[in-house]
Amino acid sequence: MGQIPRRGLFAQRKQASGEADAQRQENLAARVTLCEELEQAIAIGSACQLNIGQLLSQSAASWRSAGAVPPYCIWKYSQA
C-alpha cells in the first residue's frame, strides 16, 4: 500500500540524477564563459581598469548564482 515499485523508484532516481547532471553541465558552461570574459578583459590591459572593476563585480554575482558544477570539473580545472 503506497509503495512505489522498485523499477519505478530506480527510474525516478535515474531521471532526477540525469536532470541534476544536465543542470551542473549548464552551470559549468556559464562559469567557463565568465572565466573567458575575465581573461579577455585582463589581456586588454589596464587602459580599461574601470570596466574591469565593473566586470569583476558582475562576474562575482554571476559566479555565485551559477550553481554547482560536476565534481570532476573542480579537480580538472584546478589542475590547469
Predicted local confidence at residue 12, as pLDDT? 85
Mean pLDDT, the chain cut into blocks of 10 residues (80 residues total): 67 85 89 86 66 78 82 61
pLDDT at 39: 83
Supply the pTM of this predicted model. 0.63
Residues 63, 65, 69: CA angle, nearest 5 degrees: 70
Beta-strand ranges (E) seen in 15-70 are: none
Nearest to 54 by CA among 68, 41, 66: 41
Q: So what's the pLDDT on residue 45?
A: 67
Tell me, what's the pLDDT at 3? 63
- The predicted pLDDT at position 4 comes to 58
Q: So what's the pLDDT on residue 10?
A: 83
Residues contacting 12, CB < 8 A, separation 6+: 4
